[in-house]
Each structure stands twice: as structure tokens, then as C-alpha cells.
Chain A
């Protein structure tokens, strides 16, 4: 498989940002996936030569700016999530579909948990169970990313 073009990566990031900025209604906000997170995690695993932790961190910063939340909190959680993906990247590309789903759900869960932790530290209140719903929609978006840009590239057999 050919290496991914840098332009493709930037373009998906832009599209993710536009979806992030879309004015979601009440229920939309509850079930909306974290577009930029899913897209960035996909590229971290698919094309680590383009998308390093710095880019993911930058995407988190964009989310911070678009939500108007404390500057740096999404950036921090995005960077940690990307790191957890990146250290196992060589192994993850060898996983089968279901193992990969499990690990990706773990990553999305970690990100939401970290955000929750930061918000609670800042004096927020505990949200109800619907807070964890976006993990499911994240997974659906992840499947779309797999359909559009292909399965994770395995290294060639020698």
C-alpha cells in the first residue's frame, strides 16, 4: 500500500474541524463523536510518519478553542491518548479487527475519562451515564475511517 499523502491527512483534519464546529442541537451534543480525536488516532496508527503527538496535541488545542473550554485540557488528553496508541502502533497493525476495536474503545474511553477528571478538578459536576455514549459513536466513525482510508497497513512479509 502506498504511503498516505500529507495533503490527505491535512484535508481530513480540516473536515473533522468543520464537523466539530457544526452547531449541534441538544441530543446532537450528547451523541456527537469526537471527530478530531477519531481522525487523529486513525492517522497516528495508520501514518505515524505524518501524524505525531504534536499534531494530535494541536488538534486538541483546536477543540479547546472551538468549545471555549480551558485552553490546553483537550490538548493534554489528546496527547496522552495518542501516546498510548503510538507505543503499541507496531503491534496494533497486526491485530485482527475485533482486537483493534477493543483497543480503540479503550483509547476513546481513556480520553473521555481524563477530560472528566480535569473537569471535576476544576469544580464541574458529575455528568450522567449519557456522557459515555460518544464512545459508541466514536467507534462508528472509526469504522467509517477504516472504510474510507483502508485497514491499518501491515508491514510487508519478508
Chain B
């Protein structure tokens, strides 16, 4: 009886100096410092992405286990879809296929003609991107971010920066890749920007996500700009990430205020950004503009940053192909030191251009 008395004691009641270890406060300080350091490292450097990969791979079995009930529910639902519904769907699809086939017949002819014309003009062949089908696993678990997770990862040769589209338009861009899954930042996220063109008049601009409101904003366009409610915005393709001509959004609201020289233009994404099951992950097109900037890290807001440089590179290439006497000096953006006259008139002698350059302070 007496022998076992120390075993019957609650550990909680034993003297503090035996079980407590470090005091709670020193523990707290230690772990606070650790997490602050981790946050700083994660935000500023790239070291922790590997750790994230390992953990995510380790968590994958649990993730599969967790999503199993959902999967069963969906399967059962599909199984019990009524006969009537299937007949209706089949009828609708057949009609749609008839219409599409008629349109496709014209497309083949137009495609061939387009390719022919492009070779005549010595332009680039149109880029037809390859795509991988992905399935949406879940919407983000974090209510703050506009992120969805797909069931395709580095195993399936997905790389950060690839564009993600559904049958209606652009959904977003891959920003983080794990072994079996990848994260897509939606175009409505605050961090993402996308180069667009107004379909009606080919006006180029950049659209930025607005976060929670699920809309896009097109800032820095003057109030006099030719844009109307209902205008369709498509990708312009000059960033080298999104192929040209994909539908992005429809303009829903234009506000003009007296205080601002810019119009406030709000548009709504066309793709079902928040409600779809299957999406296409497009390969980044292999244009020369991309190859030269491949070693740069792809960040969610890369489009806007590299836009200027890629435009210059594409222009250079086109000029070289079209102009039999190319300019000796290549135009570079953001460098006021180079003389503007020298690049524009390569044949002119330096004596005539030097006095024209503004030397006065």
C-alpha cells in the first residue's frame, strides 16, 4: 500500500521543481522569438519553402483522409443523378456540339489563313499553349486570402507562374507548388495584377485584384478614356504568362470624381473564380521574352514588374524582323542617360545630334 503511494499522486500535485522544466514565461519568450524569426525569414527569404514542401508532403495522406467524406458525398450525388436530368443534359450537349462544330469548320480555314499571313509578314507563329487539367481540392482555409488549391503539383511538372483558366476565362496564377498540390492565387487577390486589353478598341491596361470584394480595378486610366460599362477585358499577352485573348472581366462600373484625374473603373471577373471543379493549367509560352527572364524569381506580382522590359524585348525582335536596317543602339526603358536621338536616327552623324541633346541644367 505504502509502496505505491508516489504513483497515485497526480503529476500536477508533485512539487514544482520536479516536473515543470523551464518556467512558462521563458518558454513563451523562446517560442515567440522563434516564430518572429520564422516569420521574418519566410517573408523576406526563400529558405523555408523547402521546409514547407516537406511538411506538405508529409501531411498529404492526412489531407486525403480528411477530404474522403466530401469525395464520397459527391460520388453518391453523381450516382443518384436522375435519368431525366441526364437525357436533358445529353440533348443540350448535342445541340451545343452541333453549333460548335459549325463554328470550328470556319476556324480551321481562318487558322490556316492566319498562319499563312503571319509567315508572309515574317511574324511569330501564334502561340497555342499546352494545358494540364487540374481539379480544385478546396478553397483556401485562410479567410484572408483568395487562394484555391489544385490537385496538381511538382510531380505533374507544374511550376510557379503558370496561368490557370476555366472554360470561360482566366482564374488566376499558380503561386506556390507542393509535391502533390499547388496553390492558385485568384485574379481578384490584392497581390495579383494582369495585363489586359479592352476587346472593343484594343486599349491596353493593367487590372489589379481588389481582394474580398471579388472585383478587379483598373487604375491610372484618365477620365476621358474610351471605356464603357459592359466592355469585355481580355488578356493582352504581352507579359508572356497569359496567352493573348483570354476573357478576364466585364466592366461593371465607371466612377469619375472631380478630385482625381483618373477614372475609377471596376470590373467583375468572367470566369467562375469561386465556383468550379475543373480548371486548365496553361504552360508558360516559350517566347523569347520569357526565356531571357527565366532566371528571375516568379512572384505573384511579376506581371507588372517585368511588363516594361518584356514589351521592349518583343518590340526589338519585331523591329529586327521587319526593319532591314535595324537600329544600332537598342532602346532601353528607364535610362535617361542614353540619347534619344541616337537610337531613332542611326544614319545621322554624331555632330548633328549632339547639339540637339539638352545639355542645360
Interface residue? A94 (CB, 8 A):
no
Interface residue? B25 (CB, 8 A):
yes
The tally of CB-CB contacts under 8 A between chains A and B is: 137
Interface residue? B59 (CB, 8 A):
yes
Interface residue? B304 (CB, 8 A):
no
Q: List, in ascending order, chain A residues with CB within 8 A of B59's CB.
A: 17, 21, 62, 65-66
> What is the minimal beta-carbon distance from B46 to any residue of chain A, in angstroms?
12
- Are A155's CB and B13's CB within 8 A? yes
Interface residue? A29 (CB, 8 A):
yes
Rounded to whole angstroms, the CA-CA distance of A14 and B41 in the bound complex is 28
**B8-38 interface code vs A (CB 8 A; 1 in, 0 out):** 0011110000010100110110011011111
> What is the minimal beta-carbon distance from A18 to any residue of chain B, in angstroms?
5
- Are A83's CB and B25's CB within 8 A? yes
Name the residue on A nearest B181 (C-beta). A68
Report A's interface with B, CB cutoff 8 A: 1, 3, 14, 17-26, 29-30, 48-49, 52-54, 57, 60-62, 65-73, 75-76, 79-80, 83, 86-87, 119, 122-125, 127, 131, 153, 155-156
Rounded to whole angstroms, the CA-CA distance of A19 and B142 in the bound complex is 14
Q: A68-B176, A155-B13 are in contact. Are A83 and B24 (CB under 8 A)?
A: yes
Q: Is the interface of A mostly helix, strand, loop or mixed?
A: helix
Q: List, in ascending order, chain B residues with CB within 8 A of A156's CB.
A: 10, 13
Extra contacts, 11 of them, besides A61-B35, A131-B143 (Cβ < 8 A), are: A24-B138, A49-B11, A65-B59, A66-B59, A68-B140, A68-B142, A71-B51, A72-B37, A72-B38, A80-B28, A153-B10
Rounded to whole angstroms, the CA-CA distance of A119 and B12 in the bound complex is 37
- 10 A/B residue pairs, CB under 8 Å, sorted by A: A3-B11, A22-B66, A29-B143, A30-B143, A57-B35, A66-B59, A70-B43, A72-B37, A79-B28, A80-B28
Q: List, in ascending order, chain A residues with CB within 8 A of B70's CB.
A: 22-23
Name the residue on B nearest A74 (C-beta). B35
